[in-house]
Amino acid sequence: MTDRRGVTFAVEDMSCAHCVATITEVLRTSLPGAAIAVDLEHKRVTVDGDAARAAAIIRDAGYTPRSIAA
């Protein structure tokens, strides 16, 4: 069963607008229609959908997501 409530990740190695754009683009491409919110100031990424898949997508883009409570 897939969790559709969403998940928030701490992405401590997200450091600039380019990182935000990269993460946003890979998530939009891989999870079409999913709600995505990226907060550079707090280094947080929230994704509506499958948490394991979202983490793998962020990892494949070169970042280190750590699941946290929303």
What is the pLDDT confidence band of residue 70, given thresholds at 50, 70 and 90? low
pLDDT confidence bin for 49, thresholds 50/70/90: confident
CATH for 7-68, among 3.30.465.10, 3.10.129.10, 1.10.3720.10, 3.30.70.100? 3.30.70.100
**C-alpha to C-alpha distance for 67 and 8, rounded to whole angstroms:** 6
pLDDT tens across 12-34, in order? 999 999 999 999 999 999 999 99
Is the pTM higher than 0.85? The answer reads: yes
Euclidean distance between CA atoms 29 and 43, whole angstroms: 21
